[in-house]
Amino acid sequence: MSENKQYPSYKVVVLGESSVGKTSLVHRFTSNRFDTRTSNTIGAAFTTKVYSTPDKPDRKINLEIWDTAGQERYRSLTPMYYRNAKTALVCFDMSNVESTLETAEFWIQQLELNNSSSAENGVEVRLVGTKADLFKGNKADLDAAVRGCMAKHNVIASYDETSSKLNDGIAQLFTKIVDSISDEYIRQYSENQGDDNGMRNLLSSREMSSCC
């Protein structure tokens, strides 16, 4: 058994247009590195990180992070990656707000249409502005656009601005995610740990609820 399996697992999916900085965000969080040249993701990339928050250092969570491809030709594959996700990070590029925020709204709509953001299965949608260090626009206009998006989609739990290059806002984002995980979720996971049938049944019930 790997070390990560000792801790409750929590699935996070990262969505957004190609080249908005999804992979850079994941790399900065999981390995604290920033690459100036990152290849486009094909399909999806999977990584894990055991994480705890400063307020609860003994409460460790194994974050299972799915970094999805942003190219339009992969859109038909993406729903299988966000199935059973507990948090969806929907990203847009702050240096190209108009185009990439529109694509972010597309993914939020898809989550809504697939009932993946319903209260029943508890998927959180978090809107994330990336490349904050490259933002040169009018902050008031950006804030208005974000408020408009959040007003149209009340499933959005939060909005965060990040810079992978400067390592700004990323730890705070994932701290919010881990802090939001309920003790009830951890209790249910712990009860099913070591019981393969029980865990399969638990995941199956979540999958059915996300597809119906």
- The more confident residue out of 1 and 170 is 170
pLDDT at 186: 87
> What distance in Å separates the CA atoms of residue 31 and residue 199, rounded to the nearest whole number?
29
pLDDT for residue 113? 84
Q: Which percentage of the chain shows pLDDT scores above 70?
A: 81
The model's pLDDT over 162-211, given as tens digits with 9 standing for 90+, comes to 999 999 999 999 999 999 898 888 888 878 765 544 444 444 444 434 34
Answer yes or no: are the C-beta atoms of 83 and 210 closer than 8 Å.
yes
pLDDT at 202: 46
pLDDT at 82: 84
List, for residues 20-36, the tens digit of each pLDDT value: 999 999 999 999 999 88
**Between 22-31 and 170-180, two packed helices, what is the crossing angle to 10 degrees?**
80
Tens-digit pLDDT profile for residues 56-67: 898 999 999 999
pLDDT the model gives residue 1: 42
Higher model confidence: residue 9 or residue 194?
9
Q: State the average pLDDT over residues 105-133.
A: 82
Q: Which domains can be identified in the chain, with CATH numbers? A: 9-199 (3.40.50.300)
Residue 106's pLDDT is: 94
The confidence score (pLDDT) of residue 115 equals 64
Per the prediction, the chain carries an average pLDDT of 85
